[in-house]
Structure 1
Amino acid sequence: MKLKELLSTATLFFLFSSIALAQLSPEQKSAKDQGLIFYNQLKSVSATPFLAIAAEAGDQEAQYFLAESLRKKNHYMNPESQKWYEAAAEQGDLYAMIQLGRNTDDLCKKLENCATEQKAPIEWLKQAQSIAKPKAENGDAESMYIMYELTVDKNWLKRAADAGHPIAQYWMGITEMQGEGFFLPWQRQESIEKWFKASAEGGYPKGMREYAVILGEKKDMEGYRQWNEKAALTGYASSIFEYGSDLAHEPDLYGYPLDIVKGYALIYLLKELDGGGGMQADVKDQLHKTSSKITSKQIIEAEKFAETWKATHPPVSFFPEKLSR
């Protein structure tokens, strides 16, 4: 797969695209896009007002992620977040149905502010399964993955992975890396590598990063550099940090030519991740280490490079799971 195709695929994952029933104005679309950027940078508070603009206009995707932002901000499903989950679910959003189905109401009961439910949680789960299962049995990979989320049946996860779903492939690699499944010792590692390679080639940034790590452990430095850079080019924060650190030789592990300006710039770019994710301490520490190798003039050049990168590449993102806990 060509790099351009990889980036296009990764961008689709970044936006978590779905068919919205509402036709947004340019201003509403811009607000939605900004809200998704903040959401994917784990800035739920910042994302909320932007997503609300598109959600109020009837956009299904914005309604779902507004509900997610409100739930994360409040640490439970309060009446407002439930309202937006239900709005998205009424438009057929299976992820919203699953979140409504998982709702236990424990905290809202303690706070005595539970919302009146349109349906019982089990009814939402049954509705989601009634929609997803026929599609899954007809070969739709995402529906297979949704069936896995609904049933926790590992067979659905593997079927989704076999059907080419990059996130399912990533989770197959993760679960096998954690010891699931029965393998001879050398077969387990081969299977893990197979899944991460498939996920990487399918455009999933987290799969790219895991595959790069495996290649690095095998001393395939060229392969590591190739996939580490591809993951960074999608905007994946962890890979940008690693790519910048490698270019600045902090440390020099994978044979990158020293490029102190670009390395410093990529680390500097991550200063905008001042919400969740716990990356700021590492960014501050790495900039401090790198500053001993760079002149004041080069720092100015690096900051300009960071601005150009931001304007010409996908937004920096942690790529959080769409169906969060």
Structure 2
Amino acid sequence: MLNKLALLIALVLSSIFVWAGSAPDPIINQAKVLYNQRKPATLQLREAAGLGDPEAQFYLAEELRRPFFAMPQEAYMWYEKSAAQGNIYSMYRLAFSNNGTCKALQTCPKGSKSASEWNTLLLQTAENRAAQGDSEAMSIMYFATKELKWLEQAADAGGPESQWLLANRYREGQGVFFIPSNRKKEEERLLKLAAANGLAIAQTEYAGLLADRGEHSVGEAWYLAAVKQSDIYALSGYAYMLEKGGFYTIPKDLSKRTRSIPLSRSSTPPGHYATKQEKA
């Protein structure tokens, strides 16, 4: 997941859960915006989580868990509050919270259910939702079971995060292709689908794939689509090209140099396609 960033992108890097409240609350919205912009948001998330929003509770638990090798009790508490409202991503965290690190340190948090009980509830909830066509539930079933069929179903159901992740899994060698050349074709098809469905990380990766084979003008259009979404990786590269120039036709313009781009929590998106220029 499980690489954490990949979890947040595949589960994570999108609208994870829609709160059933009657109208958007500005406090909740601000907290989520700050979190998704990778800015410090603990104070705002605490306030939003206190209002009962399950997604904000999940985000707050993620923020509280991030600096530690093992999950702190407060993070566990917010995961439980979120899971009690049906958030399957919080259920996932609770189901796999008792990892080797916390056991070795004897710091595994205590809660109302055991990890195995949360895992049972997670599988029941996610499988029921998957049967109703919920692509996010299909993706969490993949993470919980490691069965690629669930990710393939999620991609077929139109989930852009799942399309992006499946393209990367195929690139890593997972899945069976009787005709080897079909692997690359399917990988590219899925990546293009995810990009067309508006996933910024897929747009930047697809742009890199096109640039790597010399289709710079087409790649540039996809790259700029990610920039328009204020994607941190696309913005960082765009700022660099404004200052230094690059293989796209973005003109070098020091007056537009972006100095206020926040540092991301991870320097490289998982599954990132390195272009020939990056490999050099």
TM range (shorter): 0.7 to 0.9
Query: What is aligned with 1:72?
Result: 66
1:255 to 236, 249, 255: 249
Query: What is aligned with 1:193?
Result: 188
Shift of 1:68: 0.8
Counterpart check, 1:174 vs 2:174: no
Counterpart CA distance in 2 for 1:114 and 1:190 is 44
For 1:104-131, what per-residue CA distance to the aligned partner results, in whole angstroms no more than 9, with x for missing partners? 1544455555433201111111112212
Counterpart CA distance in 2 for 1:217 and 1:38 is 34
Change beyond 3 A, Cα 1:23–1:63 = farther
Shift of 1:189: 2.1
Aligned-residue sequence identity (percent) comes to: 31
Change beyond 3 A, Cα 1:113–1:75 = closer
- Opposite residue 245 of structure 1, the aligned amino acid is Y
Shift of 1:21: 4.4
Counterpart CA distance in 2 for 1:200 and 1:22 is 30
Query: What is aligned with 1:307?
Result: none
Q: What does 1:192-211 correspond to in 2, within 5 Å? A: 192-211=187-206
Counterpart CA distance in 2 for 1:194 and 1:179 is 16
Q: Which structure 2 residue ranges, 5 or more long, are not aligned?
A: 1-11, 271-280
- Secondary structure, counterpart of 2:41 in structure 1: helix
- Opposite residue 33 of structure 1, the aligned amino acid is N
| Pair member with larger Rg | 1
1:269 to 238, 254, 260: 260
**CA RMSD of superposed structures (Å):** 2.7
Q: What does 1:218-257 correspond to in 2, within 5 Å? A: 218-248=213-243, 250-257=244-251
Counterpart CA distance in 2 for 1:98 and 1:232 is 31
Change beyond 3 A, Cα 1:73–1:47 = farther
Change beyond 3 A, Cα 1:153–1:25 = closer
Change beyond 3 A, Cα 1:114–1:252 = closer
- Number of matched pairs: 259
Query: What is aligned with 1:16?
Result: 15
Counterpart CA distance in 1 for 2:116 and 2:144 is 11
Contact 1:158–1:172 under 8 Å retained in 2? yes
- Opposite residue 20 of structure 1, the aligned amino acid is W
Query: What is aligned with 1:10?
Result: none
Change beyond 3 A, Cα 1:74–1:24 = farther
- Opposite residue 231 of structure 1, the aligned amino acid is A
Shift of 1:50: 1.1
1:121 to 115, 121, 131: 115
Q: What does 1:92-103 correspond to in 2, within 5 Å? A: 92-103=86-97
Contact 1:24–1:54 under 8 Å retained in 2? no
Contact 2:95–2:122 under 8 Å retained in 1? no
Counterpart check, 1:138 vs 2:127: no
Return the TM-score normalized by structure 1.
0.71
Counterpart check, 1:215 vs 2:214: no
Mean Cα displacement is larger for which, 220-229 or 185-194?
185-194
Contact 2:49–2:57 under 8 Å retained in 1? yes
Change beyond 3 A, Cα 1:139–1:278 = closer
Counterpart CA distance in 1 for 2:14 and 2:150 is 24
Q: Which structure 1 residue ranges, 5 or more long, are not aligned?
A: 1-12, 280-317, 320-325
Q: Which has the higher contact order (CA 8 A, sep 6+)?
A: 1
Counterpart CA distance in 2 for 1:185 and 1:113 is 47
Contact 1:22–1:58 under 8 Å retained in 2? no
Contact 2:70–2:108 under 8 Å retained in 1? no
Query: What is aligned with 2:35?
Result: 39
Contact 1:41–1:276 under 8 Å retained in 2? no
- Opposite residue 17 of structure 2, the aligned amino acid is S
Counterpart check, 1:165 vs 2:163: no
Query: What is aligned with 1:89?
Result: 83
Q: What does 1:273-284 correspond to in 2, within 5 Å? A: 273=263, 276-278=265-267
Mean Cα displacement is larger for which, 156-165 or 142-151?
142-151
